[in-house]
Amino acid sequence: MDFDLVVRNGTVVTASDIWESCDIGIKDGTIVAVGPHLPATAGAQEIDAEGAFITPGGVDSHVHLSQAGILIHNANIDGVDRSTFTNGVIPDRENYVADTYDTGTRSAVAGGTTTVVTFACQLKKDESIIPVIENYHKLAKDQSYCDYAFHVIITNPTPQIVEEEFPRMVDEYGITSVKLYMTYKPMRLHDYQVLDVMYSARKLGITTMVHAENADIIDWMTQHLEAKLMTQPYHHGTSRPPIVEAEATNRVICLAELMDTPILLVHISSANAAKHIRDAQTRLLPVYGETCPQYMFLLADSMRKGDFEGAKCVCSPPIREDKSDQDAIWAGIKNGTFNIVSSDHAPSKYDHPNGKKLGLQHGNLPHGKFRFIPNGLPGVETRVPLLFSGGVLSGRISPQKFVEVTSTNPAKLYGLKKKGCIGPGFDADLVIWYPQATFQPFNLTNEMLHHAIDYTPFEGIEFKNWPRYTIIRGKVVFSHGEVVGEMGYGQFIRREKSLLPGPRDVWLSEWRP
Ligand code: URP
Ligand code: ZN
Ligand code: ZN
Ligand code: ZN
């Protein structure tokens, strides 16, 4: 057999199995052989894994890059001039306080992620999603270190969009999932609109991702907390107790059951929301769950420190205060409620007038006002190492479960057919870890990371391993702490339909779509 690259002597992990002393043969960017003692081929590059774990490259299916929507999540940020935003995009790159395709995907490969699925975000005034998709293509093309695909965020589902443009989105653009928001004034849909999206999604066989929080509770609580001057970053969480997520999760599961269409609840943070998802799955509804490392490794108590420092951990849903919620997230990963662990990488710089500090500038209070703090955290680089170190190496999840939730399931749910597994015919996207015996554990600092953000919420956490090599389609893109890949190597991936179960043809009334 003829190889371009042979990786030798690894402990190869898939979502179902582990093979020790195993080699991987790669030809033209594709895995062509997996097994012991593959033959040497003249001219082939060889990498000795020295017995270390080899896992499929991370697939991060929830990443926000170059997204105008990030700056306008908060309804009342008047420091940002939105009049120039159109077709999903901020024209003025100076305005970015987040990650673009170059910095975000550089960060991804340095943390073992080989594919990101990012968002092309419709703004409410965008009458068509086609130029939105085209614009995000321009932002990503020749800018990406890793492979990438798009979801479309729908904020205004007009009949033209759901009836005429959704089929084009699938057929012409290879985009087979949409995300919708039940909260954030500039983005939220009402239940009627959610049904409009689901109706079309069902016909086309695409998956609907839902950000489930009750918008009116959040608005009401925010108003009433401000009256009591309870506005410091920590109280972002006070305004959104777990019931806010649980109610919306249950509601949207009902809408999806009515429509008999698959949904994925994104970034779930709390026990009761997880229970609603679990119950739906027990009834065999095609309901999928996603959670993120921030809900597995952080608790809200740390946000009480400092007057405004807590803003670094402001995201929605919020990081929870009760350990019981965190425990429920870990249990949900083990029992299969959560099919996917993504990063929800949606960062803003902290020390920047258009970043997290908007909450100080517009607060007129020494500790600021949480309603003006842009929501979201950086995490595309830390997701895979956190789950490997704090999950696998800490004995909380098996190596196979790690592979399943960080790579295999996101690839299957989103129709990335050649991603997410180490086997013949799959893209040669690999993470080679350090041999455990030789690795010196370290405590993370932001300087070690490759994003364009001035902090990490995971500062100080101990890592018991880190990717030694990241390989994409047979090419080493990260090696011993250095990004060695090139911007522009990453390719756009047209997606197929989901490989996980979809509609069941079970109905709640005589109505049929
Ligand atoms: O706070 C968060 N998660 N912001 C990012 C956008 C989203 O809702 O996923
Ligand atoms: Zn051998
Ligand atoms: Zn969201
Ligand atoms: Zn998000």
pLDDT of residue 355: 87
- Picking from 371, 320, 383, 309, the residue whose alpha carbon sits closest to that of residue 346 is 383
Cross-strand pairs, 7 = 24, 47
Residue nearest atom 4 in ligand 1 by C-alpha distance? 376
* Amino acid present at 360: L
| Ligand 2 center to 12 CA (angstroms) | 13
Which segments of 148-234 does DSSP mark as H helices, in order? 159, 166-171, 191-204, 215-227
Report if pTM > 0.90.
Answer: yes
Cross-strand pairs, 475 = 472
CA angle 485, 267, 67 (to 5 degrees): 55
> Which of 60, 64, 345, when mutated, tests ligand 1's pocket best, judged by the most ligand atoms within 8 Å of its CB?
64
| Ligand 1 center to 7 CA (angstroms) | 38
- Picking from 405, 490, 385, 393, the residue whose alpha carbon sits closest to that of residue 448 is 385
Give residues (CB < 6 A) around ligand 1. 64, 211, 267, 315-316, 344, 346, 375-376
Give 411: exposed, middle or buried? Use CB within 10 Å, 0-12, 13-18, 19+.
buried
> Which of 316, 372, 373, when mutated, tests ligand 1's pocket best, judged by the most ligand atoms within 8 Å of its CB?
316
Atom of ligand 1 nearest to the CA of 184: 8
Longest dimension (CA), the chain: 74
| Ligand 1 center to 316 CA (angstroms) | 6
Structural domains in the chain, sorted by start:
5-55+420-483 (2.30.40.10), 58-388 (3.20.20.140)
Atom of ligand 1 nearest to the CA of 316: 1
pLDDT of residue 81: 52
Q: What is the pLDDT along the chain (513 residues), one digit of tens a residue?
A: 799 999 999 999 999 999 999 999 999 999 999 999 999 999 999 999 999 999 999 999 999 999 875 655 543 444 445 555 666 665 555 567 889 999 999 999 999 999 999 999 998 889 999 999 999 999 999 999 999 999 999 999 999 999 999 999 999 999 999 999 999 888 899 999 999 999 999 999 999 999 999 999 999 999 999 999 999 999 999 999 999 999 999 999 999 999 999 999 999 999 999 999 999 999 999 999 999 999 999 999 989 987 899 999 999 999 999 999 999 999 999 999 999 999 999 999 999 888 899 888 877 788 899 998 989 999 999 999 999 999 999 999 999 999 999 999 999 999 999 999 999 999 999 999 999 999 999 999 999 999 999 999 999 999 999 999 999 999 999 999 999 999 999 999 999 999 999 999 999 999 999
Residue nearest atom 9 in ligand 1 by C-alpha distance? 344
pLDDT of residue 92: 58
| Ligand 4 center to 371 CA (angstroms) | 18
Residue nearest atom 2 in ligand 1 by C-alpha distance? 376
Atom of ligand 1 nearest to the CA of 315: 1
Q: How many residues does the chain have?
A: 513
| Ligand 4 center to 33 CA (angstroms) | 37
Q: Residue 266 CA: which ligand is closest?
A: 3
Atom of ligand 1 nearest to the CA of 314: 1
Atom of ligand 1 nearest to the CA of 69: 6
Q: Quick one: which H or E segment has residue 9?
A: strand 5-13
pLDDT of residue 354: 80
| Ligand 2 center to 7 CA (angstroms) | 10
pLDDT of residue 78: 42
Atom of ligand 1 nearest to the CA of 211: 8
DSSP letter at 402?
H
| Ligand 1 center to 296 CA (angstroms) | 16
pLDDT of residue 42: 92
Q: Residue 457 CA: which ligand is closest?
A: 1
